[in-house]
Amino acid sequence: MKTLQETYKKNVVPQLRKELHLTNDLSVPTITKVVLNIGLSKGLTDKKYIDIAEKTLTRITGQKPVFTKAKKSISNFKIREGMVVGAMVTLRGSRMFDFLQKLIHISFPRMRDFHGLETEKGFDEHGNFSFGFKEHIIFPEIASDEVENIHGLEITIRTTAGDKERALALLRSLGFPFKKDKQA
């Protein structure tokens, strides 16, 4: 079975070069990094939740997460400056491509009532794509009978595309399941 990285180099680069009318292989958009993030709002009251989030991210990615801290105090949310409010992992290189292959071919098909990713909401003006899951149990490393608390996580895919159309073409050619665009 070909890896996603090999597929990108051998199939996607020539296809996108032709489709986007580019003259050089290096000008073809690529994915630079993937960031997984878990917000730890429940961790403010339950310290065990922070450990659960850390173990979840470590199992899914194979890397230890970095904890993000609040930059300023917000009294309405009972957050003080320096409190741990999130956990994140940044994937690059072969680990990134391995994670994306697992996400496309294993995790998305395991989701209940999944009809594709939204193209309208997830892209920013630079061609980066963000989406989230309500349940982290769609990943094969997480056994659903071992789970005490179900929590969500967000994924951001950073690209060199520069705009939404080029990023969408890149992700579609890699096999991301997007909902069909609405026909006018």
DSSP 118-184: -TTTSB-TTS-EEEEES-GGGSTTS-TTT-SS---EEEEEEES--SHHHHHHHHHHHT--BPPPPP-
pLDDT tens-digit readout, 91-150 = 999 999 999 998 888 888 877 777 778 877 888 888 899 988 887 777 877 766 566 667
- Boundaries of every domain in the chain: 32-159
CB-CB contact of 178 with 165 (8 Å): no
Lookup: tokens for 63: 């890397």
CATH class given for the domain over 32-159: alpha beta
Q: Following CA atoms 10, 11, 14, 20 in sequence, which dihedral angle do they give, to the nearest 10 degrees?
A: -140
DSSP single-letter state for residue 80: -
How far is Cα 73 from Cα 94, in angstroms, rounded to an integer? 38
Each residue's pLDDT tens digit, 34-67: 999 988 876 666 778 788 888 888 888 889 999 8
pTM of the model: 0.85
CA distance 44 to 83: 8
